[in-house]
Structure 1
Amino acid sequence: MSMSVSMPLGGVQVGSYDSYPQAQAAVDHLSDEKFAVENVTIIGSDLRMVERVTGRLTWGRAIAAGAAGGIWWGLFVGLLLGIFAPSGTSWVSSVLTGLLFGLVFGALFGAMGYAATRGKRDFTSTSQITASRYDVMCDPSRAEEARAILARWSLRN
């Protein structure tokens, strides 16, 4: 049985940063210095999900959001059907019919979706995955060169 030492995902660490934009700037600097960035990986550690509540969800908002989404789908379908319309007035009526059906069905599906939650989630929110630290990793054969470039860069900044 052969034994081998496994390498960490992405290679060896050449830099560590508190935010993704800092890690991205470090990789961008490596690229500016003509370093082979295809050997580089950014790994976020200590991940957490942050959900920001953006507002209260009511029947009116649920129906309006569904109707707005339905209007977009209706416009899309109406325009597709309008392509095959024999005349200009048929094209307009195809688009308007698509908009109307999209609005009605979108509002209906918005209401059904809200009713399905039974009041368990009466708010809207956005979610984002963030990390506590972002490590710039590199292939071991190129790691010393990357460290030297990033060390010079950090001294200038």
Structure 2
Amino acid sequence: MSMSRPGAVPKVPTLPAGDEVAAFPTYIEAQKAVDYLSDNKFPVENVTIVGTDLRMVERVTGRLTYGRVALAGALSGAWFGFFVGLLLTLFAGSTASGVLFVGIALGAGFGLLFSVLSYAFTGGRRDFTSSSQIVATSYAILCAREQSDDARSLLARSPGGLGRGGAAPSWGSPAAGAGAPATPPAPVATPAPTPVATPAPPVGAPASDNGEAPDTPARTPDPRWTTPTGEPRYGAMRPSDDDKPHS
């Protein structure tokens, strides 16, 4: 309900607004809490009972047979015949009692006949009787925000401990709605990349221009044509590729 107008029921289905002052697992406990507020002169027109997590419960009450169908149809028809016969007695005069009994008998007969035929047409697809209810998992008590503190403190002082569960968030507010601002997630620390070790070039191999080892191994100078320092001997000519020893 709208908290701006106490007691007003909206024309379209609308979620209630207010602060949750208590929550209970059964409707009876929620009803006792509201009754306690009313007994203590609290303005209960600002209070709403909201059932959450609704479930439809169908309890099977018994097996359906032709005998039970006929009996139920006869009883319902007899009540209808009694009503019709009672209206006819106003114009029957001295035969009022006879008209009343005829109406009851005819109503019971037609009710029995229609019930048996209806059950026969179902083909035994539903041979049981049941009772359905809408049940909630929990029942919350909401109150107008300007009076929620008073209601919460009043329920906390109740002898039966009716004030439990009053720390839930508000209904109809950004904190409890879908439009609440989301809290940004904490940044995730990214692990530093592990450095890859570069293999050292072989001993005696000259380094390339970019500091890396060449793909081909270094050529060892021929001692016949070079000095111990690697320089060519005086008067010696560099061997051509044809003069080099073949492996």
Alignment TM class, shorter chain as reference: 0.7 to 0.9
Structure index of larger Rg = 2
Report runs of 4+ in structure 1 exceeding 3 Å deviation. Answer: 154-157
SS at 2:71 equivalent: helix
1:107-154, CA deviations, whole angstroms, 9 ceiling, x for partnerless residues?
012112212321110011112221110011112222111111111116
Q: Which moved more, 1:147-156 or 1:90-99?
A: 147-156
Residues 136-145 or 147-156, more deviating: 147-156
Separation in 1, partners of 2:160, 2:93? 69
Distance 1:53 1:33 in 2: 41
Q: Take 2:21 and 2:92, find their aligned partners in 1: how far apart are those partners?
A: 61
> Are residues 111 and 49 of structure 1, via their aligned partners in 2, closer, same or farther at CA, if it must alter by over 3 Å?
same
2:76 to 27, 52, 69: 69
Structure having the larger proportion of residues in strand: 1
| CA apart distance, 1:11 | 2.4
Aligned equivalent of 2:21, options 1, 11, 14: 14
Q: Secondary structure at the match of 1:16?
A: strand
Q: Which residue of 2 aligns with 1:101?
A: 106
Structure 1: segments with no counterpart, 5+ residues: 1-6
CA offset at residue 84 of structure 1?
Answer: 2.7
- The answer (yes or no) to whether the contact 2:81–2:108 under 8 Å persists in 1 is yes
Count of residue pairs the alignment pairs up: 149
Q: Superposition RMSD on alpha carbons, in Å?
A: 1.8
* Matched ranges for 1:11-90 at <5 A: 11-87=18-94, 90=95
1:10–1:41 contact (8 Å) kept in structure 2: no
How many percent of aligned residue pairs carry the same amino acid?
51
Residue equivalent to 1:4: none
Cα distance in 2 for partners of 1:43, 1:154 equals: 23
> C-alpha distance in 2, partners of 1:67/1:8?
45
Question: Which whole-Å CA distance do the structure 1 matches of 2:160 and 2:86 have between them?
Answer: 57
Name which of structure 1's ranges 21-30 and 128-137 shifts more when overlaid on structure 2: 128-137
Matching of residue 123 in structure 1 with residue 123 in structure 2: no
- Cα distance in 2 for residues equivalent to 1:29 and 1:84: 55
Q: Distance in 1 between matches of 2:97 and 2:92?
A: 9
Structure having greater relative contact order (Cα 8 Å, sep ≥ 6)? 1
Q: Write the distance in 1 (CA, Å) between the matches of 2:114 and 2:130.
A: 19
Amino acid at match of 1:152: R
Aligned partners of 1:156, 1:61: CA distance in 2, in Å?
Answer: 47
Structure 2 SS opposite 1:121: coil
Contact 1:14 1:137 in 2 (8 A): yes
Scaled by the length of structure 2, the TM-score of the pair is 0.57
Distance 1:57 1:9 in 2: 42
Contact conserved, 1:17 with 1:134, CA < 8 A, in 2?
Answer: yes
| Matched residue, 2:193 | none
Is this contact kept in 2: 1:65–1:107, CA < 8 A?
Answer: yes
Length-normalised TM-score, structure 1: 0.87
